[in-house]
Each structure stands twice: as structure tokens, then as C-alpha cells.
């Protein structure tokens, strides 16, 4: 009897828990449905304030914060709300008769009638200076607040901000002297600022912008680096021991990374992080390289420590690669964004004394030629087709030297509006090098040409398969790989 009663109680508790879970999830679903329905119905007919993210709806002021949605601006006067006079596009700041607003918050102590200057998010009067960022992740929000955000609407004053327009008080000793350097950089008589943060060791009297070299293109002012008389800075961080007069900033076309090179110390930086002077590799990694690559280096002769001095850029753009490649006499290296480390792609496969770039993704030495190709590997399961890892592959064309190549002509599209690629000749063979193999039309960098006359006629876009033969079954000389 006692066992039967226990069994009934257990069964009752089981049904009770299951029913409770179903009820809770049903309430959550209904609440979310109602909330989402309300969101869709809102703000029809709202008045947008020009050059800002602010809008007026039913006599109330709201602001749109990128990544977070619309928020009520408490205390804002809808009748006098207007954009501010500012340098640059600063839609996160507006004013009414009594306040200056940074997103949904009034900036304390600033008088809208006494503003001296406003530029790229900086704003000041005679007594105070602030920086209002466009939209940043709110790191102060709790998990509970993130959950309650699902139930809050734009009309709730306490709606949590997953993203916000971060306001920084410069605490400037001389706010009237605040001036713009370039975009997120500013200075006053006492300090230099990046997005409102004071940059340690930066000299406001000698600070200036820095030109960066777009490899394969021209120079332009860097958005992220500045310098003073003695230092180079990346945002609010100093590049260790880098000398302004000897440091150059580089950016590759179609790349997400910026690099600095201090010629005096022979030191590369990615952002503000210096490349390591040496890279250790294990026997297991060398075995992986040996089995992946087709090279003539015996496993016992492969290096277990690589020096990274005297590095050079291998590719001048990322149109055929997913990585920026660097090389010296020992190897080819790349920055692995998944590990945040400089990694060895392979032992050096070519003669560094005679190698030369034929184009952005095509190089050759006195014996062989090599071309670079961007490769994307995806998961192959039924429910997962996401990118597994990306590779930059160097493919070897044996016994075709640099001097054997002849550049015939550039191949442009039918409208002549952009370059499709370049036609090359070596011996009796013609090759087509695509301008970019990271698109839907050209999957490879280099093709063998079947019909040169038709290719030169310009009427070829729909005949790619008949004209171009991908290069296959050639040895892989090097692989840079980043996992996701």
C-alpha cells in the first residue's frame, strides 16, 4: 500500500511539473506575441527629426538606438526638439529648449543656449565637455534585465538598453579649448581624447593625424592611428617603442585589419599589438604541415622555431585571400583571428631573393609560379551549413618562372565599367586571372583559357564554362587557416 501511494504521488508530481512548464511557456509565448504585435503597430505616422535618430509620436519624443530599438526620451519637449549644429553626422544628439540629449538621456549641466562647439560626437560649453558615442554594447546590463527587455515596450521609461549611446564626461580642465583632430579624436590644451577617453602620454601640442598606405592603391588619413612628436597611438593605446618618424601604417584593400610597421625596430603591429619575435611550432604541427602541403622539406629538417624579423607583405589586397600574408627567409605567416596570434602558414616555399609579384594574388620566382586563392569550407550536416573555417591557399605551378609570363591585356566587363581580370601568356598557353575570386562568378583565381579569341571579343560572360578551365591537381605550397 505504501509503495502504491508513493507511486501515485510521484505520478501526480510529474503531471504537475509538466503542466506547470506548459503553462509558463504558454504565458511567455503569449506575452512575446502581444509585445511583438504592439511593436509592429507602433510609430505609424511618427514625425522624424531631420539629421537625427529622434522622432515624435503622439506628443512624446523617442530615439532609435542601433541594435536596441526605440526608447522614450524622458523630459524632452516635443515642440522645441531639433538637431544641433555639428561637424560630421551625429544623429544620436539633439536638443530642446532646456536640454541637450545623448540618445535617451539628457546630458547633465550642458545648456543648449551656450554650446560652443559640436563635432563627431563631442560637445562642450564654457564649463563642461562630453563625448556621446553612436551605439555601443551596454556591458553594465544584467542577464535579468536582458530577459525583461523582451516584455518592455518603447513607452516604458525603465526599458533596459542592450545597446546605448554611451556618454563620457571628459572632465576637461579647459573645455573652451576643445577642438577636433579627426573623427573620434579630439584635444584641448591639456589632453588628447579618443571617443572621450584620455590617451595616456599623448601631447596635445604636437598631436596630428597619420597617413596610412592602402596597399595596391593610394594614401589616406587613418581613422584609427594618430601621432605626436614622440609616440604613435592606436585609438587610446600607445604602440610600444614605435617612433613616429620611422613608423608606417598599412591597410590592405578588402581587409578588416590595420597594421603598423616600425622600421627602426623592425617591428610589425596589428592594431597596437606587436608581432612576436619568434614562433614555436611543435612536431605535431610540422607533421600536419607536411601532410597538408606538397613540399620537398624532410620532416626532421622543418623548423620548430621561426624568427619573424624582416617581414614583407606577400599580398597587396584581399581580393584572392582571407588573410594578410607576411614572409621572410624562413616562412610565411598570417594573423589568425580565431586565436588572436601570429601563426606559421608554411616554411618558405619560394626563393625570396628572386620572387616578385606579378599581381595582387600571383607571384613567381626564377623557377616556379604561385597563385593565392580564398577557400571557404562549410559544415556538411543536414542542419548545419555554416562556415567551418576559411583558408588562403597558395597553389604552385611548377617550372613556370617569373620571366616566362607575358601580360597580354586587362579583360573588362561588357560595359567597360570594371575589370574582370587579366589575360596572361606563358609559352603557348593562355591564363585568365580573375580580379576577385570571393564572389559568385569566379570561384578560382587562375583559369586556363580554352578560347582566347572569344575571350578577347568581350562576349563571354555567359560562356565561362566553355572559355575557362580551373587549375586543378596542382601541388599546394602553403595554407593559412582560420576556424569559426
Q: How many Cα atoms occupy the beta-carbon half-sphere of 284 within 13 Å?
A: 0
Alpha helices in 270-392, H assignment, sequence order: 283-292
Strand 312-313 relative to strand 305-307, pairing: unpaired
- Residue 11: predicted pLDDT: 64
Burial classification of residue 437, based on how many CB atoms lie within 10 Å of its CB (0-12 exposed, 13-18 middle, 19 or more buried): buried
Would you tell me how many other CB atoms lie within 10 Å of the CB of residue 314? 25
Q: What is the DSSP letter of 299?
A: G
| Burial of residue 30, with CB atoms counted within 10 A of its CB: 0-12 exposed, 13-18 middle, 19 or more buried | exposed
Strand extents, DSSP E, 148-215? 163-164, 167-169, 179-182, 185-187, 192-194, 197-198, 208-215
Q: pLDDT tens digits for 86-138?
A: 988 999 999 999 999 999 999 999 999 999 999 999 999 999 999 999 999 88
Spatial separation of the C-alpha atoms in residues 477 and 289, rounded to whole Å: 10
Determine the Cα–Cα distance for residues 292 and 105; give it in Å rounded to an integer.
56
DSSP state string for 85-119: P-BS--TTEEE-SS-EEETTEEPTT--TTS--EEE
Which SS3 state, helix, strand or coil, does residue 470 take?
Answer: strand
Q: How far apart, in whole angstroms, are the C-alpha atoms of residue 321 and residue 373? A: 6
- Residue 476 pLDDT > 70, yes or no? yes
**CB proximity list for 57: less than 8 A, separation 6 or greater:** 42, 43, 45, 46, 47
Q: What is the mean pLDDT of residues 51-69?
A: 93
pLDDT tens digits for range 329-341: 999 999 999 999 9
Q: What is the pLDDT of residue 60?
A: 94
pLDDT score of 74 more than 90: yes
Give residue 443's pLDDT: 79
First to last CA, the chain: 59
Amino acid at each position: 500500500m505504501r509503495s502504491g501511494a508513493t507511486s501515485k504521488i510521484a505520478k501526480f508530481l510529474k503531471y504537475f511539473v509538466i503542466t506547470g512548464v506548459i503553462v509558463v511557456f504558454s504565458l511567455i509565448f503569449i506575452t512575446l506575441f502581444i509585445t511583438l504585435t504592439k511593436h509592429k503597430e507602433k510609430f505609424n505616422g511618427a514625425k522624424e527629426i531631420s539629421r537625427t535618430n529622434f522622432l515624435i509620436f503622439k506628443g512624446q519624443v523617442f530615439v532609435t538606438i542601433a541594435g536596441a530599438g526605440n526608447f522614450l526620451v524622458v523630459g524632452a519637449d516635443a515642440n522645441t526638439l531639433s538637431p544641433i549644429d555639428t561637424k560630421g553626422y551625429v544623429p544620436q544628439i539633439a536638443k530642446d529648449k532646456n536640454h541637450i540629449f545623448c540618445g535617451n538621456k539628457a546630458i547633465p549641466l550642458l545648456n543648449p543656449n551656450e554650446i560652443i562647439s559640436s563635432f563627431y560626437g563631442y560637445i562642450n560649453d564654457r564649463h563642461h565637455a562630453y563625448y556621446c558615442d553612436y551605439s555601443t554594447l551596454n556591458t553594465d546590463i544584467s542577464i535579468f534585465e536582458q530577459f525583461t527587455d523582451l516584455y518592455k515596450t518603447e513607452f516604458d521609461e525603465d526599458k533596459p538598453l542592450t545597446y546605448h549611446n554611451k556618454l563620457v564626461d571628459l572632465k576637461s580642465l579647459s573645455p573652451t579649448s576643445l577642438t577636433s583632430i579627426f573623427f573620434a579624436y579630439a584635444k584641448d590644451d591639456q589632453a588628447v581624447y579618443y571617443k572621450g577617453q584620455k590617451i595616456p602620454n599623448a601631447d596635445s601640442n604636437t598631436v596630428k593625424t597619420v597617413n596610412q598606405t592602402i596597399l595596391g592603391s593610394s594614401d589616406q588619413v587613418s581613422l584609427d592611428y594618430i601621432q605626436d612628436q614622440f609616440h604613435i597611438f592606436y585609438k587610446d593605446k600607445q604602440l610600444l617603442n614605435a617612433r613616429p618618424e620611422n613608423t608606417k601604417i598599412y591597410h590592405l584593400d578588402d581587409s578588416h585589419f590595420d597594421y603598423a610597421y616600425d622600421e627602426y625596430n623592425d617591428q610589425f603591429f596589428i592594431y597596437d599589438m606587436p608581432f612576436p619575435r619568434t614562433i614555436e611550432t611543435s612536431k605535431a604541427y610540422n607533421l600536419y604541415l607536411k601532410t597538408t602541403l606538397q613540399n620537398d622539406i624532410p620532416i626532421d629538417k622543418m623548423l620548430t622555431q621561426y624568427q619573424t624579423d624582416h617581414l614583407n607583405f606577400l599580398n597587396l589586397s584581399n581580393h584572392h585571400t582571407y588573410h594578410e600574408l607576411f614572409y621572410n627567409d624562413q616562412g610565411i605567416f598570417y594573423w589568425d583571428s580565431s586565436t588572436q596570434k601570429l601563426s606559421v602558414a608554411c616554411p618558405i616555399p619560394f626563393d625570396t631573393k628572386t620572387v616578385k609579384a606579378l599581381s595582387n594574388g600571383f607571384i613567381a620566382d626564377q623557377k616556379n609560379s604561385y597563385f593565392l586563392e580564398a577557400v571557404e569550407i562549410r559544415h556538411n550536416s543536414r542542419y548545419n551549413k555554416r562556415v567551418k573555417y576559411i583558408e588562403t591557399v597558395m597553389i604552385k605551378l611548377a617550372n613556370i618562372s617569373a620571366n616566362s609570363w607575358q601580360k597580354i591585356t586587362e579583360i573588362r566587363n561588357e560595359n567597360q565599367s570594371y575589370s574582370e581580370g587579366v589575360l596572361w601568356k606563358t609559352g603557348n598557353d593562355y591564363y585568365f586571372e580573375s580580379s576577385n575570386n570571393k564572389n559568385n562568378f569566379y570561384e578560382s583565381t587562375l583559369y586556363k583559357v580554352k578560347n582566347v579569341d572569344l575571350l578577347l571579343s568581350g562576349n563571354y560572360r555567359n560562356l565561362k564554362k566553355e572559355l575557362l578551365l580551373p587549375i586543378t591537381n596542382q601541388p599546394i605550397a602553403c595554407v593559412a587557416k582560420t576556424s569559426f
